[in-house]
Structure formats: structure tokens, C-alpha cells
Structure 1
Amino acid sequence: MSKLPLTPDAVSEIVAIIDGSGYDHLDIKTDAFRLRLRREGGGDGSADGWTQDWSFSEAEAPAGGDKVATVAELPDGLLGIAAPLPGTFYRAPQPGAPPFVEEGETVDENTVVGIIETMKLMNPVHAGCSGTIEKVVVNDATMVDGGATIMHVRPA
């Protein structure tokens, strides 16, 4: 018997991530597999509101904030640092550690300003611009959509 390219836990985690976003469907196709997810009805915020090509038992959703951050408008003269992918945004490298950056601190393009956890992988978020952190828009442990504004930066 051949192995499935995704485990039931991985599919359940994908469902939880997409469920915490503003998206209502996902279609992934590779040489090894195809996964289609579509929200049924109005989507009540639980994985039960989803249909999928494979039928797996559900796993608990990853811990994190309840709120989902989306793309926000930027105040005049400020740049935004955007989430590179959907997942849970963390301001510090581990619980209890100081945040990567605080409001008022200077950053450059390569400064790590946070991490996004997606499918148990920690992905660094780089500032991508030079300037001063004007405002941290997203709270720690908050689900974010890809492209969501996490911080405002006053350009140098």
C-alpha cells in the first residue's frame, strides 16, 4: 500500500489555518497529490464547515489568538510590513522572551521583526524596508492572512 503524501494531522492543520483566514476555498495540486477544501454554508469558525477530498478525523486546531489579522490601510507616509504567508504571528522567538522589535526601534531590510508559524514550521518575518517601527498592528499569537499588515514603519 502506498503512503499518502499528507498525513491526516497535516490536512487537519491546513484546514485550521485556512479556517482562521478569510478564504473560503483552497485547491493544491502537485505531482504527488491534490487537496481541495471548500467552506460550506457561512462557515461557523470550526473545521466542521469544510469539505475535503479525503475524509480524515479532525485534530485540534493550533493554539493562538482568536482574531484574524487582514490587510489594513496604511496611514500616509508609512510603509507596511506584511505577513509573507498565513499562520500564527509571534512577536518573540519563544514564550517569555522579549519581542524581536518594539515600537520606536530602527530596522533595516534584513531585521527579523517576528515569526509566523505555519504547519509547525517557524518562518522569520523580515522588515523588508529601513526605518522606525511606528506601530505594531498585530498582537502576539494572532492568526494572520498572507499579506496582512503586521507593523507600520516610518521610512528612514
Structure 2
Amino acid sequence: MAKPTSDDIKTLIEQFEQSDWKEVHVKTDGFELYLSENPKSSGPPSAVTPQLTTATSQTVESADTSPVVAEPALEAGKAILPEGMTAVTAPNLGTFYSAPKPGAPPYVEVGQNVSAETEVCLIEVMKLFTPVKAGVSGVIREICVSDGQMVEYEQLLVVIEPS
């Protein structure tokens, strides 16, 4: 990933300020940013002071996009899945996109059969797009966020009934 520009960082800060997030920690090769509403916070837990450094590599490894199978009750403030359903969650914070580009058909729709390798959406942060795959074969039962919506790490995106 190229070194983030000041506009990229400014956009991320604006999105943080407009969200209900309490803190956010973004870390990639050669770049780390920690934002918190807590004025006494000095950084992420068990971390050295956050820093912005020059990127040493221009390559980006794709994040693991395997879904997290939800327990009957997810963490506080998260949705409860019906028994037997599988959750596809956000691999990182960012903006949820249901289609590859504006005006294009969505990757998936409710009622659609999908394979484990079917892309269900994209998550974008600072111009880095992460494809999210279904992870299981089955039928899309619910799409939990709308196109262009900000999502948090591990937020429920799609509910799949495994086949």
C-alpha cells in the first residue's frame, strides 16, 4: 500500500468523528494510527506510542476474509443470530459496498444461493478495498448493512443459512 496521504488520514478522522466508535486502531506496513474519544488514552492496549512512518513496501497482502461463525449471542451491542445461521462479519473497519462500482448490480441479494468463494461485498478504508467472501455455501437470508454505510471490525454484514 502506498503511504497514506494527508487527505486519506483526514477522511479517516472525519469518519471516526461522525461515527459512534469509541476508538479505532489502523495498522499496516509502515503506518499506524490510533484515535480515541478518551482524552486519557495514550494508545492501543499493550502498544508503544502510535506513530506515522514511511512505508517501506508497496505491496499489500489481502486480509483474511473468512467469516466468523457466531455463537448464539454475539458481544454486547451486536445482533443475535437464529440457530443454524452463519454470520459474515467485517474483516476490518471501513465503508461497506454491496457492488463493485456505483450503478452495478450488487454482489449478492437476499434469497441468492452462494458458494464459500462468492464475494458478498467490499470493505474500503483509505482507498484499500478488501473483498469479503461468504465462507460457506448456502442461501443469503439477510444483508444487515446498507451500501455506503460505515462498519466496524467484526460487525455483522450478512446472514447465511448453510446448505
For this structure pair, what is the TM-score category when the shorter chain's length is used for normalisation? 0.5 to 0.7
Question: What is the letter of the counterpart of residue 152 of structure 1?
Answer: V
Q: Give the deviation of 1:76 after TM superposition.
A: 1.7
Aligned length: 127
2:117 maps to which residue?
A: 110
For residues 92 and 153 of structure 1, the distance between their equivalents in structure 2, rounded to whole angstroms, comes to 18
Cα deviation, 1:125-151, whole Å, max 9, x if unaligned, reads 111111110111111111111111111
Question: What is the letter of the counterpart of residue 113 of structure 1?
Answer: V
2:35 maps to which residue?
A: 37
Q: Give the deviation of 1:154 after TM superposition.
A: 0.5
The unaligned stretches of length 5 or more in structure 2 are: 40-49, 53-76
* Match runs of 1:46-61 below 5 Å: none
1:80 maps to which residue?
A: 87
For residues 28 and 100 of structure 2, the distance between their equivalents in structure 1, rounded to whole angstroms, comes to 32
CA 1:78/1:123 → structure 2, altered by over 3 Å: closer, same or farther? same
Question: Which structure features the higher share of strand residues?
Answer: 1
TM-score, normalised with respect to structure 2: 0.65
Dislocated runs of 4+, deviation >2 Å = 5-8, 16-38
The unaligned stretches of length 5 or more in structure 1 are: 42-51, 55-69
Q: Give the deviation of 1:123 after TM superposition.
A: 1.4
- Asked whether 1:24 is paired with 2:31, we answer no
Question: What is the letter of the counterpart of residue 126 of structure 1?
Answer: K
Query: Aligned Cα RMSD in Å?
Result: 2.9
For residues 151 and 30 of structure 1, the distance between their equivalents in structure 2, rounded to whole angstroms, comes to 26
Counterpart selection for 1:12 from 2, 10, 14: 10
Identity of aligned residues (%): 39
Cα deviation, 1:86-118, whole Å, max 9, x if unaligned, reads 111011111111111111111121110111111
After TM superposition, the structure 1 stretch with the greater mean CA deviation from structure 2, 137-146 or 17-26, is 17-26
1:59 maps to which residue?
A: none
Q: Give the deviation of 1:21 after TM superposition.
A: 4.8
For residues 118 and 12 of structure 2, the distance between their equivalents in structure 1, rounded to whole angstroms, comes to 28
For residues 97 and 108 of structure 1, the distance between their equivalents in structure 2, rounded to whole angstroms, comes to 21
SS at match of 1:123: strand
SS at match of 1:128: coil
More RCO (CA 8 Å, sep 6+): 1
Given that 2:9 and 2:126 are in contact with CA atoms closer than 8 Å, whether structure 1 keeps it comes out as no
2:156 maps to which residue?
A: 149
TM-score, normalised with respect to structure 1: 0.67
Given that 1:116 and 1:125 are in contact with CA atoms closer than 8 Å, whether structure 2 keeps it comes out as yes
For residues 128 and 4 of structure 2, the distance between their equivalents in structure 1, rounded to whole angstroms, comes to 15
